[in-house]
């Protein structure tokens, strides 16, 4: 553990960078597959921050939450891919801007 | 415990009525009737066993031990919320009225309701339970809880079993009462918070809050919160517009409960809370309040005159009559208050009966439009005669309960403000105008050819029995109102003493 | 006897309730027996009471029970009996009994026989309570009670909406007066602390000086009530229309008893009126103006019952005149004799209507003298008494009124002259009626003649109308003594001769036709005046424009609930907001996300700019 002493700030920087990339992807991509992937990136960036913080404070909580996020991500992918199939079936496209039935 | 049992009997009775529908389709109404009558008998028997009832010692308003009954248990002690019930003469009268009219309402629903009978009777009983809670609860949050409890079943009754425009009416009813209830909740919380600031103790008990020290301005605003909540319920001008819609669309039993009992909770709240908790603010506000009352009397009467719908006409007549109650309460002297209490009881009977007649007509003709009626007396003489009785009762014929009430109110009001009395007295004339018009359009006049062929059944035994109860009650109130006056008298005396203590100056001016 | 005085109003009340509850199951003859006998028993009891009273002159006060008690306000269901009460009770039960008997024949074929007698009995009970009440609130109970009975009976044949309209008009117009009277009660109670009539008058004379404002206002409010009930100007318009009811009802309610309740009220509270001389002058002027107005109107009517109705208004005007000039006992005396001869006239007209297929127009009658002799003589006697021909009952009472009016300082001679003009007109219109209906050519053939149940009441009333003037009414102890000096003899001679002049004029115009009024009636002025009188001076038309139509218009205007505009505006505002906000709901996921992020950025930047303090929590 001694040799690899990366400062917390660096990891948090990477994490927020990942988060921003994910968020940007979410905002600009229209394809639902890419949206899901961007979401995955954002979740993982959060998970990274948790693990890093947990390591920094020497607490197990960070890793516990990481486990939780893994589960959530898995569940999310399951639901998300189901939705992808449905969207493909209904709209014959994966472009999310076409699925705008909720327009007020 | 008696008071909790009274409420529980109705709640459980409602549940049983709902379940009993599985046994037999016509079972619920019997179960419901049994529950209400049992409740009534239980109340009377436990009243008779009270030692105080014999001499009705004067209760001291802020000392619950002098009341007829008092019950207190902790509910949420951290915030000083308790399950506190108490009964004095006025609550007793109101509870009696509620139960009698409850029985009347169930009788009115006997053949009127054809779908989901069990759920209907359950809603009816739950609504009654809520009303009993309102009349008995003396913890302000508990009071608020029951205030809401009585509304929701009533909402269902209008929304599910109502007439053609029920959705609108139910929603309007709900929003009006809910919004005003919210104002009351805010007022209750602020009042309690102010009390906590000065005494350091959280409490919602009426008896503790009576002694709250509030600045004049704060009390005025809090009083207004209570006032609006109660006046919407009363209903007073200009918050009355939910009433004609709700009444017109509600099923007969719903209208009976609504007019006979629910409106009285507003008046009860004014007498019990809005004035005694804030005597000075109430005094400052009494002039506008009386003006609103007089406006309601006149406005309700004029609008009633313009209606073509049988039930709407009666609904507006309620606005007019309850205007008298508002006048009586804010005149705040013994005569006027006795009149207000009397009016609550008498109006309960006369209007409930008129709504029942309206319901019976609708059941037979499938319309409430009076231009479709006329000459009904010929085919239904018994119904006509009964309607005539209640119409002259509602226009204030001496010898019937409504006259005693209105005269006492006017008599009390006259000592406070002559001109408002004069305005209110014109209600006697306009009242005669719309009442007799109602009679003319429906029961008198040429026989409508539309119904001449069809056989319209007159009132049967069940209906005549129900009507007889109310006829006897009104005659009794009209020629010997003393028992009712005696029950209310000590309570009103102590209320007057209480407010007089807070305001030594007006005690002399007003009494 | 004094112990059971409450039985007198109770009997007809019980009769009424019985008929209401069981009328359907009773045979017609039984209904008749029940209806008539209940009033008959009351009449008998009243007679017994009268005999006792004649012997000991004892004033009775009976408390049956305390009606209600709130603080010091404690009116009782309690009766007060003195000479005035006795006169009223005798008239109500006596004339009432005869009219009930008459009705059994008149209403014989009506399907609602039981309902009729139930209402009529209820009326008698209420009227008895009115006159026997010892406090004003109980009096008010009777007062409203007779109003409702009048409403029910005027609209008895409910299947014609015109009857219903007349009934409602009767009730609402009188209710206007009643409401004013109720305000008077409130005023009296709040100043004197009691409504007990005798106590009230005693206290009033202690508390108030003569001519003070408050007794004046109180008296005027009471007068409003009396004016409404007694069909005086300006609230008289309901009475002619009220003739829509069955004729015996008109005889009982709208001639003999209820319409004189106003006279009774003022006489009963005379102690108050003595404190307000201005109010008495108002009463006198109302009386004399009304009597003239109604007499002119009666001249032009063609409906037999409307003629009698206007003559009733006119005669009650005389009673008001009497009260106004302080001739209390003369007023009450005229009330009694009027009850006799007017009931006679109404019953006579009822007999005609009954036998003439419900014909009301006098010009379609004619020549009935030989074919209905009983009725003819009833009408002759009744009209003679109405016109106050010498030696009839009407003569004695009207003469007293006019003489006492003459003696009033200042206004006296003026009132007297107006009264004389009224008397002249009375003679003309009453004999016009007789001459047109009973003489000349027959226009309609009667299909039956009166039976004994009609003939007997007519004969008894004939007798009373003739000799009623020789009765002395026992009101000496009730009223203060008035009128000392006797006026000059010529005044009396003029008073006597005027009705005879009227008779002669009527004879020459309507029977002998020596005086031709054609040219007068066909001239444009004559026709205009005639139409004005026919319509009752256009007062109905005026009220219709001034009050009835505006009220209908107001009700129509408001009926769709203007207050709801406020609440609807709130609803619309919400809907507008909803419309506006729902535009932001584009349905595009990316748009939501962008706005979310933008919001977050704005919030964070705002928070950090507001200073470090905010971000700390």
Residue B509: predicted pLDDT: 47
Distance (Å, whole) CA C261 – CA C250: 15
Residue C545 — very low, low, confident or very high, per pLDDT cuts 50/70/90? confident
Domain-located, residue A87: yes
Measured between beta carbons, the chain A residues lying within 8 angstroms of C588 are: 96-97, 100
Query: pLDDT by residue (tens digit) across B15-53?
Result: 998 888 888 888 888 888 999 999 999 988 888 887 655
Residue C485: predicted pLDDT: 62
Which C residues 554-583 touch A at CB under 8 Å?
A: 581-583
Q: Does C588 contact A28 at a Cβ distance shorter than 8 Å?
A: no
Nearest partner of B483 among B345, B349, B329, B333, judged by Cα: B345
Residue C529: predicted pLDDT: 78
Three-state DSSP class for residue C525: helix
Distance (Å, whole) CA C6 – CA B496: 38
B161-173 burial by CB neighbour count: b if 16+ within 10 A, else e?
bbeeebeebbebb
Domain-located, residue A2: no
Q: HSE of A80 in the Cβ direction (CA atoms, 13 Å)?
A: 17
Domain-located, residue A1: no
Residue C614 has pLDDT above 70, yes or no: no
On whether any CB of chain C is under 8 Å from the CB of A102, the answer is yes
Nearest partner of C98 among C114, C126, C122, C120, judged by Cα: C120
Which H or E run contains A2?
A: none
Q: How far is CA C523 from CA C209, C298, C530, in A?
A: 55, 20, 10
Q: Does B444 contact C152 at a Cβ distance shorter than 8 Å?
A: no
Domain-located, residue A104: no
What CATH number is attached to the domain comprising A31? 1.10.287.3510
Distance, first Cα to last Cα, chain B: 38
Residue B503 — very low, low, confident or very high, per pLDDT cuts 50/70/90? low
Distance (Å, whole) CA C89 – CA C133: 12
Which H or E run contains B76?
A: strand B69-76
Q: Does C559 contact B398 at a Cβ distance shorter than 8 Å?
A: no
The larger pLDDT score, comparing residue C589 to residue B135, is at B135
Distance (Å, whole) CA B302 – CA B429: 11
- State which residues form the domain around A74: 8-98
Residue A4: predicted pLDDT: 64
Distance (Å, whole) CA B442 – CA B358: 10
Which C residues 155-194 touch B at CB under 8 Å?
A: 155, 158-161, 164-165, 167-168, 171-172, 175-176, 178-179, 182-183, 186-187, 189-190
Residue A102 has pLDDT above 70, yes or no: no
Three-state DSSP class for residue C305: helix
Q: Select from C581, C586, C597 the Cβ nearest to the Cβ of A100.
A: C586
Name beta bridge partners: B74: B82
In chain C, the residue whose alpha carbon lies closest to the alpha carbon of B435 is: C168
Please, do chains B and A touch (3+ CB pairs < 8 Å)?
no
Domain tally, chain A? 1
Residue B269: predicted pLDDT: 92
On whether any CB of chain C is under 8 Å from the CB of B428, the answer is yes
Three-state DSSP class for residue C230: coil
Helices (H), B366-460: 376-379, 381-394, 401-416, 418-442, 449-452
Q: C412 near C488, Cβ under 8 Å?
A: no
Distance (Å, whole) CA C437 – CA C444: 10
Distance (Å, whole) CA A78 – CA C549: 76
Measured between beta carbons, the chain A residues lying within 8 angstroms of C594 are: 27
Q: Does C584 contact A104 at a Cβ distance shorter than 8 Å?
A: yes
Cis peptide before B235 (omega within 30 of 0): yes
Q: State the CB neighbour count (10 A cutoff) for residue B402.
A: 29
Phi-psi sector, C358: left (phi>0), alpha (psi -120 to 50), beta: left
Q: Determine the average pLDDT of the residues in A8-30.
A: 90
- Percentage of chain B beyond pLDDT 90 is 31
Q: C402 near C388, Cβ under 8 Å?
A: no
Q: C235 near C174, Cβ under 8 Å?
A: yes
On whether any CB of chain C is under 8 Å from the CB of A87, the answer is no
ipTM beyond 0.85?
A: yes
Domain-located, residue A15: yes
Residue C557: predicted pLDDT: 84
Q: How far is CA B178 from CA B152, C99, C206, C415, in A?
A: 10, 61, 57, 68
| Dihedral in degrees, nearest 10, Cα atoms C161, C165, C166, C167 | 100
Measured between beta carbons, the chain C residues lying within 8 angstroms of A35 are: 589
On whether any CB of chain C is under 8 Å from the CB of A99, the answer is yes
Domain-located, residue A74: yes
Helix axes C452-467, C373-387, angle to 10 degrees: 30
On whether any CB of chain C is under 8 Å from the CB of A1, the answer is no
Min mean pLDDT across A94-98, B296-300, C317-321, C561-565 is at A94-98
Q: Does B407 contact C183 at a Cβ distance shorter than 8 Å?
A: no
- Which of C177, C179, C567 best probes binding to B when mutated, by most B CB atoms within 10 angstroms? C179
In chain C, the residue whose alpha carbon lies closest to the alpha carbon of B484 is: C68
Q: How far is CA C442 from CA B17, B46, B366, C522, in A?
A: 76, 79, 53, 25
A32: closest CA of chain C, how far (Å): 10
Query: pLDDT by residue (tens digit) across C84-128?
Result: 888 899 999 999 999 998 888 888 888 888 888 999 999 999 999
Residue C617: predicted pLDDT: 45
Residue C141 — very low, low, confident or very high, per pLDDT cuts 50/70/90? very high
| Dihedral in degrees, nearest 10, Cα atoms A59, A63, A69, A71 | -130
In chain A, the residue whose alpha carbon lies closest to the alpha carbon of C580 is: A104
Name beta bridge partners: C65: C77
Residue C160 has pLDDT above 70, yes or no: yes
In chain B, the residue whose alpha carbon lies closest to the alpha carbon of C111 is: B378
Q: What are B8-11's contacts with CB under 8 Å, separation 24+?
A: B9/B35, B9/B38, B9/B39, B9/B42, B10/B35, B10/B36, B10/B39, B10/B125, B10/B126, B10/B128, B10/B129, B10/B132, B11/B125, B11/B126, B11/B129
B290: closest CA of chain C, how far (Å): 18
Q: State the CB neighbour count (10 A cutoff) for residue C194.
A: 20
Residue B340: predicted pLDDT: 92
- Percentage of chain A beyond pLDDT 90 is 38
Domain-located, residue A14: yes
Q: Does B302 contact C566 at a Cβ distance shorter than 8 Å?
A: no
Please, do chains A and C touch (3+ CB pairs < 8 Å)?
yes
* Chains in contact with C via at least 3 Cβ–Cβ pairs below 8 Å: A, B
Q: Does B306 contact C144 at a Cβ distance shorter than 8 Å?
A: no
Distance (Å, whole) CA B362 – CA A56: 79
C61: closest CA of chain B, how far (Å): 19
Residue B507: predicted pLDDT: 44
Measured between beta carbons, the chain B residues lying within 8 angstroms of C559 are: 303, 306-307
Q: Select from C585, C593, C594 the Cβ nearest to the Cβ of A102.
A: C585
Nearest partner of C80 among C141, C128, C122, judged by Cα: C128
Query: pLDDT by residue (tens digit) across C209-237?
Result: 887 888 899 999 999 999 999 888 888 88
On whether any CB of chain C is under 8 Å from the CB of A96, the answer is yes
B157: closest CA of chain C, how far (Å): 23
Mean pLDDT of chain C: 85
Q: B209 near B273, Cβ under 8 Å?
A: no
Name beta bridge partners: C76: C66
Residue B185: predicted pLDDT: 92
Distance, first Cα to last Cα, chain C: 94
On whether any CB of chain C is under 8 Å from the CB of B375, the answer is yes
Domain-located, residue A75: yes
Three-state DSSP class for residue B82: strand
- Percentage of chain B beyond pLDDT 70 is 96
Distance (Å, whole) CA C555 – CA C542: 20
Estimate to the nearest angstrom the gap between the alpha carbon of B316 and the chain centroid.
15
Distance (Å, whole) CA A66 – CA A54: 10
On whether any CB of chain A is under 8 Å from the CB of C596, the answer is no
Distance (Å, whole) CA B334 – CA B492: 7
On whether any CB of chain C is under 8 Å from the CB of A26, the answer is yes
On whether any CB of chain B is under 8 Å from the CB of C111, the answer is no
Name, in order, each residue with C-beta under 8 angstroms of C341's C-beta and a sequence gap of 6 or more.
C381, C382, C385, C386, C392, C393, C394, C461, C465, C468
On whether any CB of chain A is under 8 Å from the CB of C594, the answer is yes
In chain B, the residue whose alpha carbon lies closest to the alpha carbon of C181 is: B425
Q: State the CB neighbour count (10 A cutoff) for residue A12.
A: 16
Q: Determine the average pLDDT of the residues in B278-286.
A: 85
- Which of B244, B397, B398 best probes binding to C when mutated, by most C CB atoms within 10 angstroms? B398
Measured between beta carbons, the chain C residues lying within 8 angstroms of B385 are: 20
Which H or E run contains B278?
A: none
Q: Determine the average pLDDT of the residues in B84-96.
A: 89
Measured between beta carbons, the chain B residues lying within 8 angstroms of C175 are: 428-429, 432
Q: Determine the average pLDDT of the residues in B226-240.
A: 89
Q: C378 near C371, Cβ under 8 Å?
A: no
């Amino acid at each position: 553990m001694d040799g690899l002493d990366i400062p917390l700030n660096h990891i948090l920087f990477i994490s927020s960078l990942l988060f921003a990339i994910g968020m940007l992807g979410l905002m600009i991509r229209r394809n639902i597959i890419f949206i899901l992937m961007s979401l995955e990136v954002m979740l993982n960036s959060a998970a990274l921050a948790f693990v890093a913080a947990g390591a920094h404070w020497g607490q197990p909580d960070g890793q516990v939450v990481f486990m939780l996020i893994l589960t959530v991500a898995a569940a999310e992918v399951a639901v998300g891919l189901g939705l992808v199939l449905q969207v493909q079936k209904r709209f014959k496209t994966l472009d999310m801007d076409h699925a705008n039935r909720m327009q007020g | 415990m008696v008071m909790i049992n009274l409420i529980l009997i109705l709640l459980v009775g409602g549940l049983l009525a709902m379940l009993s529908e599985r046994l037999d389709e016509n079972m619920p109404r019997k179960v419901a009737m049994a529950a209400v009558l049992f409740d009534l008998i239980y109340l009377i028997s436990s009243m008779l066993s009270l030692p105080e009832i014999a001499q009705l010692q004067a209760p001291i308003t802020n000392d619950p031990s002098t009341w007829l009954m008092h019950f207190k248990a902790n509910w949420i002690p951290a915030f000083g919320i308790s399950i506190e019930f108490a009964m004095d003469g006025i609550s007793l009268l109101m509870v009696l009225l509620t139960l009698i009219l409850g029985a009347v309402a169930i009788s009115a629903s006997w053949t009127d309701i054809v779908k989901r009978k069990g759920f209907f009777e359950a809603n009816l009983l739950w609504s009654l339970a809520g009303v009993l809670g309102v009349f008995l609860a003396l913890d302000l949050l508990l009071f608020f809880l029951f205030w809401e409890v009585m509304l929701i079943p009533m909402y269902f009754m209008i929304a599910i079993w109502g007439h053609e425009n029920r959705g609108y009416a139910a929603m309007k009813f709900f929003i009006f009462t809910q919004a005003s209830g919210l104002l009351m909740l805010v007022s209750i919380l602020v009042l309690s918070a102010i009390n906590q600031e000065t005494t350091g103790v959280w409490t919602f008990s009426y008896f503790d809050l009576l002694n709250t020290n509030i600045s004049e301005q704060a009390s005025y605003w809090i009083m207004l919160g209570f006032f609006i909540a109660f006046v919407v319920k009363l209903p007073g001008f200009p918050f009355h517009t939910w009433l004609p819609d709700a009444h017109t669309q509600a099923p007969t039993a719903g209208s009976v409960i609504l007019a006979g009992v629910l409106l009285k909770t507003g008046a009860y709240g004014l007498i019990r809370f809005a004035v005694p908790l804030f005597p000075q603010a109430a005094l400052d506000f009494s002039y506008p309040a009386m003006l609103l009352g007089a406006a309601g009397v006149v406005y309700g009467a004029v609008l009633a005159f313009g209606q073509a719908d049988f039930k709407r006409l009666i609904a507006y007549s309620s606005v007019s009559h309850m205007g008298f109650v508002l006048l009586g309460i804010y005149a705040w002297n013994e005569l006027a208050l006795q009149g207000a209490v009397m009016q609550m009881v008498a109006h309960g009977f006369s209007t409930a009966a008129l709504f029942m007649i309206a319901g019976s007509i609708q059941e037979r003709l499938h319309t409430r439009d009076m231009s479709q009626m006329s000459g009904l007396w010929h085919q239904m003489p018994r119904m006509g005669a009964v309607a005539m009785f209640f119409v002259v009762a509602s226009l204030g014929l001496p010898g019937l309960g409504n006259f005693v009430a209105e005269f006492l109110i006017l008599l009390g009001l006259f000592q406070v403000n002559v001109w408002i009395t004069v305005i209110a007295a014109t209600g006697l004339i306009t009242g005669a105008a719309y009442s007799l018009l109602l009679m003319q359009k429906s029961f008198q006049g040429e026989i409508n050819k539309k119904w001449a062929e069809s056989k319209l059944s007159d009132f049967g035994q069940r209906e005549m029995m129900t009507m007889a109860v109310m006829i006897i009650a009104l005659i009794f109130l009209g020629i010997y109102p003393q028992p009712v006056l005696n029950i209310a008298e000590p309570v009103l005396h102590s209320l007057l003493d209480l407010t007089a203590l807070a305001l030594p100056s007006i005690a002399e001016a007003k009494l | 006897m004094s112990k059971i005085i409450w039985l007198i109003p109770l009997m007809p009340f019980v009769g009424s309730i019985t008929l209401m509850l069981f009328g359907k199951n009773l045979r017609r003859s039984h209904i008749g027996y029940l209806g008539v006998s209940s009033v008959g028993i009351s009449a008998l009891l009243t007679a017994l009471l009268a005999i006792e009273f004649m012997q000991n002159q004892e004033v009775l006060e009976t408390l049956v029970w305390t009606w209600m008690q709130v603080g010091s306000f404690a009116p009782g269901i309690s009766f007060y009996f003195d000479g005035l009460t006795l006169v009223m009770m005798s008239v109500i039960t006596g004339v009432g009994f005869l009219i009930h008997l008459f009705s059994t024949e008149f209403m014989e074929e009506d399907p609602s026989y039981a309902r009729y007698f139930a209402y009529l009995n209820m009326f008698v009970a209420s009227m008895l309570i009115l006159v026997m009440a010892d406090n004003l609130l109980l009096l008010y109970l009777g007062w409203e009670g007779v109003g409702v009975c009048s409403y029910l009976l005027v609209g008895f044949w409910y299947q014609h909406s015109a009857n219903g309209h007349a009934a409602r008009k009767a009730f609402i117009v009188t209710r206007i007066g009643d409401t004013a009277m109720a305000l008077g009660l409130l005023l009296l109670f709040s100043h004197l602390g009691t409504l007990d009539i005798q106590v009230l008058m005693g206290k009033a004379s202690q508390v108030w000086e003569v001519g003070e404002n408050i007794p004046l206002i109180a008296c005027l409010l009471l007068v409003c009530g009396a004016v409404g009930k007694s069909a005086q100007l300006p609230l008289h318009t309901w009475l002619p229309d009220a003739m829509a009811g069955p004729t015996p009802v008109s005889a009982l309610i709208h001639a003999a008893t209820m319409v004189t309740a106003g006279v009774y009220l003022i006489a009963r509270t005379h102690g108050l009126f003595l404190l307000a001389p201005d109010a008495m002058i108002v009463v006198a002027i109302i009386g004399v103006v009304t009597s003239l107005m109604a007499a002119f109107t009666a001249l032009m009517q063609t409906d037999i019952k409307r003629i009698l109705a206007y003559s009733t208004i006119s005669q009650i005007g005389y009673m008001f005149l009497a009260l106004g000039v302080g001739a209390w006992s003369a007023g009450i005396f005229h009330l009694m004799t009027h009850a006799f001869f007017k009931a006679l006239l109404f019953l006579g007209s009822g007999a005609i209507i009954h036998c003439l297929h419900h014909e009301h127009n006098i010009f379609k009658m004619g020549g009935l003298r030989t074919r209905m002799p009983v009725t003819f003589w009833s009408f002759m006697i009744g009209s003679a008494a109405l016109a106050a021909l010498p030696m009839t009952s009407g003569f004695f009472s009207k003469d007293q009124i006019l003489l006492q009016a003459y003696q009033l300082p200042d206004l006296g001679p003026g009132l007297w002259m107006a009264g004389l003009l009224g008397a002249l007109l009375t003679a003309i219109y009453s004999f016009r009626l007789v001459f047109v209906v009973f003489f000349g050519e027959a226009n309609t053939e009667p299909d039956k003649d009166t039976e004994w149940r009609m003939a007997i009441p007519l004969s008894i009333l004939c007798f009373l109308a003739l000799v009623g003037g020789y009765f002395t009414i026992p009101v000496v102890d009730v009223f203060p003594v008035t009128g000392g000096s006797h006026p000059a003899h010529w005044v009396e001679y003029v008073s006597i001769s005027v009705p005879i002049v009227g008779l002669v004029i009527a004879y020459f115009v309507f029977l002998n036709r020596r005086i031709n009024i054609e040219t007068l009636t066909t001239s444009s002025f004559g026709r205009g005046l005639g139409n004005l009188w026919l319509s009752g001076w256009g007062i109905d038309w005026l009220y219709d424009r001034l009050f009835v139509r505006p009220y209908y218009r107001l009700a129509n205007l408001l009926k769709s609930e203007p207050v709801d505009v406020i609440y609807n505006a709130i609803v619309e505002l919400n809907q507008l907001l909803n419309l506006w906000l729902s535009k932001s709901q584009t349905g595009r996921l990316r748009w939501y996300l962008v706005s979310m992020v933008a919001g977050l950025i704005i919030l964070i930047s705002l928070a950090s700019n507001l200073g470090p303090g905010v971000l700390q929590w």
